[in-house]
Amino acid sequence: MPLNFDKLLAAIARHAQTLTDAGAVADYIPALARVDPSQFGIAVAGLDGSLYCAGVAQRAFSIQSISKLFALTLALQREGDALWQRVGREPSGTPFNSLVLLERERGIPRNPFVNAGALVITDVLCQRYLQPERAVLEFIHRLLGRSTVAVDAEVARSERAHSDRNSAIAHFMRSFGNLRGQVGAVLDAYCAQCAIAMSCAELAQASLFLAGDGCQPRGARVLDPQATRRINALMLTCGAYDAAGDFAFRMGLPTKTGVGGGILAVVPGRMTICAWSPRLDATGNSIAAAAAIERFAAETGVSIFGGE
Ligand code: GLN
Protein backbone atom coordinates (compact mmCIF):
# COMPACT_ATOMS: atom_id res chain seq x y z
CA MET A 1 0.00 0.00 0.00
CA PRO A 2 1.20 3.54 -0.67
CA LEU A 3 2.78 5.31 2.30
CA ASN A 4 0.61 8.40 1.92
CA PHE A 5 -2.70 6.57 2.27
CA ASP A 6 -3.65 8.57 5.38
CA LYS A 7 -3.17 11.82 3.49
CA LEU A 8 -5.17 10.57 0.51
CA LEU A 9 -8.11 9.49 2.69
CA ALA A 10 -8.05 12.80 4.58
CA ALA A 11 -8.25 14.68 1.25
CA ILE A 12 -11.06 12.41 0.03
CA ALA A 13 -12.97 12.94 3.28
CA ARG A 14 -12.59 16.73 3.01
CA HIS A 15 -13.99 16.67 -0.51
CA ALA A 16 -16.77 14.16 0.29
CA GLN A 17 -17.85 16.34 3.20
CA THR A 18 -18.71 19.08 0.69
CA LEU A 19 -21.06 16.66 -1.08
CA THR A 20 -23.11 15.70 1.98
CA ASP A 21 -25.77 18.37 1.22
CA ALA A 22 -26.95 16.59 -1.93
CA GLY A 23 -29.64 13.92 -1.95
CA ALA A 24 -32.01 12.71 0.76
CA VAL A 25 -31.77 10.44 3.77
CA ALA A 26 -33.83 7.22 3.61
CA ASP A 27 -37.09 8.12 5.29
CA TYR A 28 -39.24 5.01 4.84
CA ILE A 29 -38.79 4.41 8.57
CA PRO A 30 -38.52 7.14 11.22
CA ALA A 31 -35.51 5.52 12.91
CA LEU A 32 -33.41 6.01 9.77
CA ALA A 33 -34.79 9.47 8.91
CA ARG A 34 -33.37 10.83 12.20
CA VAL A 35 -29.70 10.25 11.39
CA ASP A 36 -27.43 13.34 11.13
CA PRO A 37 -27.06 13.62 7.32
CA SER A 38 -23.81 15.64 7.37
CA GLN A 39 -21.67 12.67 8.45
CA PHE A 40 -19.00 11.07 6.29
CA GLY A 41 -16.55 8.27 7.03
CA ILE A 42 -14.21 6.05 5.06
CA ALA A 43 -12.03 3.06 5.97
CA VAL A 44 -9.61 0.97 3.91
CA ALA A 45 -8.59 -2.45 5.24
CA GLY A 46 -5.68 -4.32 3.69
CA LEU A 47 -5.12 -8.05 3.52
CA ASP A 48 -1.82 -7.29 5.25
CA GLY A 49 -3.75 -6.27 8.38
CA SER A 50 -3.47 -2.52 7.80
CA LEU A 51 -6.37 -0.15 8.43
CA TYR A 52 -6.62 3.45 7.25
CA CYS A 53 -9.48 5.70 8.32
CA ALA A 54 -10.80 9.23 7.80
CA GLY A 55 -13.94 11.04 8.96
CA VAL A 56 -16.32 9.15 11.26
CA ALA A 57 -15.02 5.73 10.20
CA GLN A 58 -15.55 4.21 13.66
CA ARG A 59 -19.20 5.30 14.07
CA ALA A 60 -21.78 2.53 13.69
CA PHE A 61 -24.56 3.06 11.13
CA SER A 62 -27.39 0.91 9.81
CA ILE A 63 -25.80 -1.46 7.29
CA GLN A 64 -29.16 -2.31 5.66
CA SER A 65 -28.60 -4.12 2.36
CA ILE A 66 -24.87 -4.59 2.93
CA SER A 67 -26.09 -7.33 5.31
CA LYS A 68 -27.20 -9.25 2.20
CA LEU A 69 -23.52 -10.01 1.56
CA PHE A 70 -23.08 -11.75 4.90
CA ALA A 71 -26.40 -13.60 4.65
CA LEU A 72 -25.54 -14.80 1.13
CA THR A 73 -22.09 -15.99 2.22
CA LEU A 74 -23.57 -17.90 5.16
CA ALA A 75 -26.27 -19.46 2.95
CA LEU A 76 -23.64 -20.49 0.37
CA GLN A 77 -21.56 -22.08 3.15
CA ARG A 78 -24.58 -24.16 4.12
CA GLU A 79 -26.29 -24.86 0.76
CA GLY A 80 -23.56 -24.60 -1.85
CA ASP A 81 -24.65 -24.40 -5.49
CA ALA A 82 -28.17 -25.71 -4.74
CA LEU A 83 -28.94 -22.11 -3.77
CA TRP A 84 -28.85 -21.05 -7.42
CA GLN A 85 -31.96 -23.08 -8.20
CA ARG A 86 -33.95 -20.57 -6.18
CA VAL A 87 -32.16 -17.28 -6.97
CA GLY A 88 -30.86 -15.94 -10.29
CA ARG A 89 -27.63 -14.15 -11.18
CA GLU A 90 -28.80 -11.41 -13.53
CA PRO A 91 -28.88 -7.68 -12.83
CA SER A 92 -32.48 -6.56 -12.50
CA GLY A 93 -32.28 -2.99 -13.81
CA THR A 94 -35.07 -2.28 -11.34
CA PRO A 95 -35.12 -0.68 -7.86
CA PHE A 96 -34.11 -2.94 -4.95
CA ASN A 97 -37.68 -3.37 -3.73
CA SER A 98 -39.35 -3.93 -7.09
CA LEU A 99 -41.93 -6.67 -7.72
CA VAL A 100 -42.31 -6.30 -11.46
CA LEU A 101 -40.09 -9.15 -12.69
CA LEU A 102 -41.33 -11.69 -10.17
CA GLU A 103 -44.55 -12.63 -11.93
CA ARG A 104 -42.91 -13.16 -15.32
CA GLU A 105 -40.08 -15.14 -13.73
CA ARG A 106 -42.36 -17.31 -11.60
CA GLY A 107 -41.16 -16.24 -8.17
CA ILE A 108 -37.44 -16.67 -8.90
CA PRO A 109 -35.72 -13.38 -7.99
CA ARG A 110 -33.22 -11.95 -10.44
CA ASN A 111 -30.30 -11.98 -7.98
CA PRO A 112 -29.54 -12.32 -4.24
CA PHE A 113 -29.11 -8.56 -3.71
CA VAL A 114 -32.55 -7.28 -4.65
CA ASN A 115 -34.95 -7.59 -1.70
CA ALA A 116 -36.76 -10.57 -3.27
CA GLY A 117 -33.48 -12.47 -3.57
CA ALA A 118 -32.41 -11.57 -0.04
CA LEU A 119 -35.77 -12.76 1.29
CA VAL A 120 -35.20 -16.17 -0.35
CA ILE A 121 -31.71 -16.28 1.21
CA THR A 122 -33.26 -15.44 4.59
CA ASP A 123 -35.80 -18.22 4.06
CA VAL A 124 -32.89 -20.64 3.49
CA LEU A 125 -31.30 -19.45 6.74
CA CYS A 126 -34.67 -19.80 8.56
CA GLN A 127 -34.73 -23.48 7.53
CA ARG A 128 -31.18 -23.96 8.84
CA TYR A 129 -31.18 -21.94 12.07
CA LEU A 130 -33.62 -21.46 14.94
CA GLN A 131 -32.46 -17.83 15.21
CA PRO A 132 -31.29 -16.86 11.71
CA GLU A 133 -30.58 -13.20 12.55
CA ARG A 134 -28.43 -14.40 15.46
CA ALA A 135 -26.58 -16.68 13.02
CA VAL A 136 -25.79 -13.75 10.70
CA LEU A 137 -24.59 -11.65 13.64
CA GLU A 138 -22.42 -14.45 15.01
CA PHE A 139 -21.00 -15.01 11.55
CA ILE A 140 -19.99 -11.31 11.44
CA HIS A 141 -18.41 -11.70 14.90
CA ARG A 142 -16.38 -14.66 13.68
CA LEU A 143 -15.22 -12.66 10.65
CA LEU A 144 -14.20 -9.75 12.87
CA GLY A 145 -12.71 -11.88 15.61
CA ARG A 146 -14.64 -9.85 18.18
CA SER A 147 -18.26 -9.55 19.33
CA THR A 148 -18.65 -5.80 19.02
CA VAL A 149 -21.56 -5.70 16.57
CA ALA A 150 -25.27 -5.62 17.44
CA VAL A 151 -28.70 -5.26 15.89
CA ASP A 152 -30.23 -1.79 16.44
CA ALA A 153 -33.50 -2.94 18.00
CA GLU A 154 -35.33 0.31 17.26
CA VAL A 155 -34.45 0.17 13.54
CA ALA A 156 -35.44 -3.52 13.43
CA ARG A 157 -38.82 -2.81 15.04
CA SER A 158 -39.49 0.17 12.82
CA GLU A 159 -38.44 -1.78 9.72
CA ARG A 160 -40.75 -4.66 10.66
CA ALA A 161 -43.66 -2.29 11.29
CA HIS A 162 -43.20 -0.81 7.81
CA SER A 163 -42.59 -4.03 5.89
CA ASP A 164 -45.69 -4.07 3.67
CA ARG A 165 -43.73 -4.13 0.45
CA ASN A 166 -41.26 -6.81 1.56
CA SER A 167 -44.24 -8.74 2.91
CA ALA A 168 -45.93 -8.52 -0.50
CA ILE A 169 -42.74 -9.75 -2.21
CA ALA A 170 -42.44 -12.66 0.23
CA HIS A 171 -46.10 -13.71 -0.10
CA PHE A 172 -45.88 -13.49 -3.87
CA MET A 173 -42.81 -15.73 -3.99
CA ARG A 174 -44.46 -18.12 -1.55
CA SER A 175 -47.37 -18.46 -3.97
CA PHE A 176 -44.84 -19.82 -6.50
CA GLY A 177 -43.37 -22.19 -3.91
CA ASN A 178 -40.08 -20.28 -3.64
CA LEU A 179 -40.49 -19.44 0.05
CA ARG A 180 -40.74 -22.46 2.32
CA GLY A 181 -41.13 -20.95 5.80
CA GLN A 182 -43.75 -18.63 7.23
CA VAL A 183 -43.62 -15.11 5.79
CA GLY A 184 -43.73 -13.55 9.28
CA ALA A 185 -40.65 -15.42 10.48
CA VAL A 186 -38.73 -14.59 7.30
CA LEU A 187 -39.59 -10.89 7.66
CA ASP A 188 -38.58 -10.87 11.35
CA ALA A 189 -35.16 -12.27 10.46
CA TYR A 190 -34.72 -10.07 7.36
CA CYS A 191 -35.62 -6.84 9.20
CA ALA A 192 -33.28 -7.68 12.10
CA GLN A 193 -30.45 -8.45 9.68
CA CYS A 194 -30.94 -5.14 7.85
CA ALA A 195 -30.85 -3.33 11.23
CA ILE A 196 -27.35 -4.54 12.14
CA ALA A 197 -25.20 -1.51 12.97
CA MET A 198 -21.52 -1.43 12.00
CA SER A 199 -18.84 1.17 11.35
CA CYS A 200 -16.90 1.62 8.09
CA ALA A 201 -13.85 0.10 9.78
CA GLU A 202 -15.82 -2.95 10.95
CA LEU A 203 -17.46 -3.48 7.56
CA ALA A 204 -14.16 -3.21 5.71
CA GLN A 205 -12.48 -5.67 8.09
CA ALA A 206 -15.38 -8.15 8.20
CA SER A 207 -15.48 -8.41 4.41
CA LEU A 208 -11.75 -8.88 3.76
CA PHE A 209 -12.37 -12.52 2.78
CA LEU A 210 -13.98 -11.14 -0.40
CA ALA A 211 -10.60 -9.61 -1.30
CA GLY A 212 -8.72 -12.66 0.01
CA ASP A 213 -10.19 -15.29 -2.32
CA GLY A 214 -12.31 -16.63 0.54
CA CYS A 215 -9.94 -16.27 3.52
CA GLN A 216 -9.82 -13.65 6.25
CA PRO A 217 -6.27 -12.46 6.98
CA ARG A 218 -4.74 -14.79 9.56
CA GLY A 219 -8.14 -16.52 9.74
CA ALA A 220 -9.74 -19.73 8.63
CA ARG A 221 -11.25 -20.18 5.18
CA VAL A 222 -14.74 -18.62 4.94
CA LEU A 223 -15.70 -19.69 1.44
CA ASP A 224 -14.00 -21.52 -1.43
CA PRO A 225 -12.28 -19.33 -4.06
CA GLN A 226 -14.83 -19.98 -6.80
CA ALA A 227 -17.83 -19.07 -4.64
CA THR A 228 -15.98 -15.96 -3.42
CA ARG A 229 -15.21 -14.83 -6.97
CA ARG A 230 -18.84 -15.35 -7.88
CA ILE A 231 -19.97 -13.10 -5.02
CA ASN A 232 -17.63 -10.43 -6.36
CA ALA A 233 -19.10 -10.90 -9.83
CA LEU A 234 -22.60 -10.48 -8.43
CA MET A 235 -21.52 -7.37 -6.52
CA LEU A 236 -20.16 -5.83 -9.72
CA THR A 237 -23.28 -6.60 -11.75
CA CYS A 238 -26.03 -6.33 -9.10
CA GLY A 239 -24.59 -4.77 -5.91
CA ALA A 240 -25.91 -1.26 -6.56
CA TYR A 241 -29.28 -2.30 -8.10
CA ASP A 242 -30.27 -0.15 -11.09
CA ALA A 243 -27.06 1.88 -10.68
CA ALA A 244 -24.79 -1.20 -10.93
CA GLY A 245 -23.67 -0.37 -14.47
CA ASP A 246 -22.86 3.21 -13.53
CA PHE A 247 -20.97 2.07 -10.42
CA ALA A 248 -18.90 -0.43 -12.44
CA PHE A 249 -18.14 2.33 -14.94
CA ARG A 250 -17.16 4.87 -12.28
CA MET A 251 -15.31 2.65 -9.79
CA GLY A 252 -14.32 -0.51 -11.66
CA LEU A 253 -14.81 -2.51 -8.46
CA PRO A 254 -17.40 -4.90 -6.99
CA THR A 255 -19.57 -2.92 -4.57
CA LYS A 256 -22.53 -3.43 -2.25
CA THR A 257 -24.64 -0.54 -1.11
CA GLY A 258 -27.31 -0.03 1.56
CA VAL A 259 -29.98 2.61 2.17
CA GLY A 260 -28.25 3.45 5.45
CA GLY A 261 -25.72 5.22 3.19
CA GLY A 262 -22.91 2.68 3.35
CA ILE A 263 -20.98 1.40 0.32
CA LEU A 264 -18.53 -1.46 0.50
CA ALA A 265 -16.04 -2.03 -2.34
CA VAL A 266 -13.64 -4.92 -2.90
CA VAL A 267 -10.22 -4.78 -4.52
CA PRO A 268 -9.54 -8.50 -5.08
CA GLY A 269 -6.12 -9.57 -3.82
CA ARG A 270 -5.55 -6.27 -2.00
CA MET A 271 -8.12 -4.58 0.19
CA THR A 272 -11.67 -3.54 0.98
CA ILE A 273 -12.99 0.02 1.15
CA CYS A 274 -16.08 1.13 3.05
CA ALA A 275 -17.48 4.66 2.85
CA TRP A 276 -20.57 6.02 4.55
CA SER A 277 -22.72 9.12 4.29
CA PRO A 278 -26.50 9.04 4.81
CA ARG A 279 -27.85 11.10 1.90
CA LEU A 280 -28.91 8.99 -1.10
CA ASP A 281 -29.61 9.50 -4.78
CA ALA A 282 -32.78 8.31 -6.52
CA THR A 283 -31.44 4.74 -6.80
CA GLY A 284 -30.94 4.51 -3.01
CA ASN A 285 -27.15 4.79 -3.09
CA SER A 286 -25.08 7.26 -1.04
CA ILE A 287 -23.91 10.22 -3.12
CA ALA A 288 -20.86 11.23 -1.04
CA ALA A 289 -19.77 7.64 -0.36
CA ALA A 290 -19.93 6.77 -4.07
CA ALA A 291 -17.94 9.88 -4.99
CA ALA A 292 -15.33 9.02 -2.35
CA ILE A 293 -14.80 5.46 -3.57
CA GLU A 294 -14.72 6.67 -7.17
CA ARG A 295 -11.98 9.15 -6.27
CA PHE A 296 -10.06 6.56 -4.25
CA ALA A 297 -10.08 4.21 -7.24
CA ALA A 298 -9.04 6.99 -9.63
CA GLU A 299 -6.18 8.25 -7.44
CA THR A 300 -4.76 4.83 -6.53
CA GLY A 301 -5.43 3.21 -9.91
CA VAL A 302 -7.13 0.18 -8.36
CA SER A 303 -9.63 -1.50 -10.68
CA ILE A 304 -10.49 -5.08 -11.48
CA PHE A 305 -9.98 -4.18 -15.13
CA GLY A 306 -6.24 -3.50 -14.85
CA GLY A 307 -4.16 -0.45 -14.05
CA GLU A 308 -1.61 0.57 -11.42
N1 GLN B 1 -34.22 -2.65 4.69
C2 GLN B 1 -34.26 -2.15 3.36
C3 GLN B 1 -35.45 -2.72 2.63
O4 GLN B 1 -35.71 -3.88 2.75
C5 GLN B 1 -32.96 -2.49 2.68
C6 GLN B 1 -32.86 -1.93 1.31
C7 GLN B 1 -31.51 -1.39 0.95
O8 GLN B 1 -30.65 -1.14 1.79
N9 GLN B 1 -31.33 -1.14 -0.31
O10 GLN B 1 -36.16 -2.01 1.95
Domain identity same for 233 and 87: no
Tell me if residue 259 is catalytic: yes
Burial class (CB in 10 A: 0-12, 13-18, 19+), 78: middle
- Half-sphere exposure in the Cβ direction for 25 (13 Å, CA): 19
DSSP character at residue 150: E
Q: By alpha-carbon position, which residue is closest to atom 2 of ligand 1?
A: 64
The dihedrals phi and psi of 251, each to the nearest 5 degrees, come to -110, -30
**DSSP for residue 62:** E
In this structure, the residues whose C-beta lies within 6 A of any atom of ligand 1 are: 64-65, 96-97, 115, 159, 166, 194, 258-259, 284
Domain boundary among 140, 166, 194: 194
Q: What is the ipTM of this complex?
A: 0.95
Taking each helix axis as running N to C, give the angle between helix 115-128 and helix 183-194, from 0 to 180 degrees, rounded to the nearest 10: 110
Instruction: Tell whether residue 111 is among the known ligand binding residues.
Output: no
Verify that 190 and 202 share a domain, yes or no: no
Which structural domain, as residue segments, surrounds residue 115?
A: 65-194
Q: Is the dihedral of CA 39, 202, 186, 91 positive or negative?
A: positive
Note whether 267 and 246 are same-domain residues.
yes
Q: Are 107 and 175 in contact (CB under 8 A)?
A: yes
CATH code of the domain covering residue 283: 3.40.710.10
241 marked ligand binding residue: yes
Nearest CA to ligand 1 atom 4: 115
- Digitized pLDDT (tens) for each residue of the chain, 308 residues in all: 555 799 999 999 999 999 999 999 998 899 899 999 999 999 999 999 999 999 999 999 999 999 999 999 999 999 999 999 999 999 988 889 898 899 999 999 999 999 999 999 999 999 999 999 999 999 999 999 999 999 999 999 999 999 999 999 999 999 999 999 999 999 999 999 999 999 999 999 999 999 999 999 988 899 999 999 999 999 999 999 999 999 999 999 999 999 999 999 999 999 999 999 999 999 999 999 999 999 999 999 999 998 76
Work out how many domains the chain is built from and give that number.
2
- Do 72 and 175 have their domain in common? yes
